[in-house]
């Protein structure tokens, strides 16, 4: 027991209190643990309500790529594209071998012409299918040569008209087609007016006469 009289100071009553507290702290000690109570546990309380949803966690890392899918069906054939530009011309090929040479049959001998000289006193003549060369020697006046009808079968020959008198520029030689026949595409007469002029003509059997040549000698 603590002796209150020892150290008491009437002028400082709080000192006593402090001393008592200090003395109790020094003398108090822990007693032995008592035996456990034998009472049974209480009943389990009711389940609490569900708490609020927590905040969303951070996004996880990207997963690895999945396997390649199966090939899709073949699409329809597209429309044809535009025609491309023409390519460059290729090189010239080598010359082929010479073919066999075969001599054809000899042709028949060409026919000779018959010269008909028309004198100076004759100023008109009708061409005959049997004629070949008409040599006109008329020098005293103009001369007219009438063609036979070209509707007859083609003569298959040339007819030669020649200014043998050499004065055609003064005394013209006029060639006249028959009826509606055409002479070089025209129904008009043809006039020879150049000295020493010579013309060659033929017919096609279909109302047409044609010049092959017209020359001066």
Decide if pLDDT at 177 tops 60: yes
Environment class of residue 212 by beta-carbon count within 10 Å: exposed (0-12), middle (13-18) or buried (19+)? exposed
In a domain, 155, yes or no: yes
Beta strand pairing call for 143-146 and 124-126: parallel
pLDDT at 118 over 60: yes
Most confident listed range (12-21, 57-66, 95-104, 161-170): 161-170
Q: Is residue 192 part of a domain?
A: yes
Percent of all residues in the chain with a pLDDT value above 70, rounded to a whole number:
70
Give a yes or no: residue 62 inside a domain: no
15: tokens are: 């000192």
User: How many separate domains does the chain show?
Assistant: 1
In a domain, 156, yes or no: yes
CATH number for 163: 2.60.120
Read off the pLDDT band of 192 (50, 70, 90). Answer: very high
Residue 12 has pLDDT above 60, yes or no: no
Q: What's the confidence (pLDDT) of residue 108?
A: 39
pLDDT for 21 equals 53
Please, which pLDDT band fits residue 195 given cuts at 50, 70 and 90? very high
Judge whether 209 and 201 are in contact, CB under 8 Å: yes
Edge to edge, the sheet with strand 143-146 lists 124-126, 143-146, 173-176, 190-192
Q: What is the pLDDT of residue 75?
A: 79
Range 92-116 average pLDDT: 61
Per the structure, the complete domain to which residue 173 belongs is given by 115-216
């Amino acid at each position: 027991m603590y002796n209150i009289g020892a150290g008491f100071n009437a002028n400082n009553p709080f000192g006593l209190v402090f001393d008592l507290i200090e003395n109790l702290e020094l003398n108090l000690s822990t007693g032995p643990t008592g035996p456990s109570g034998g009472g049974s546990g209480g009943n389990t309380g009711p389940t609490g309500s569900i708490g609020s949803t927590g905040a969303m966690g951070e996004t996880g890392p990207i997963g690895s790529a999945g396997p390649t899918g199966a090939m899709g069906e073949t699409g329809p054939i597209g429309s044809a594209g535009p025609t491309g530009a023409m390519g460059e011309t290729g090189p010239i090929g080598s010359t082929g071998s010479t073919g066999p040479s075969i001599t054809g049959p000899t042709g028949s001998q060409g026919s000779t012409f018959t010269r008909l000289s028309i004198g100076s006193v004759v100023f008109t003549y009708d061409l005959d299918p049997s004629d070949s060369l008409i040599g006109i020697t008329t020098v005293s006046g103009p001369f007219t040569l009438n063609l036979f009808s070209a509707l007859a079968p083609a003569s298959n020959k040339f007819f030669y008209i020649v200014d043998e008198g050499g004065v055609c520029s003064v005394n013209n030689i006029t060639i006249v087609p028959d009826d509606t026949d055409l002479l070089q595409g025209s129904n008009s007469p043809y006039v020879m007016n150049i000295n020493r002029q010579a013309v060659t003509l033929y017919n096609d059997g279909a109302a047409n006469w044609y010049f092959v040549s017209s020359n001066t000698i």
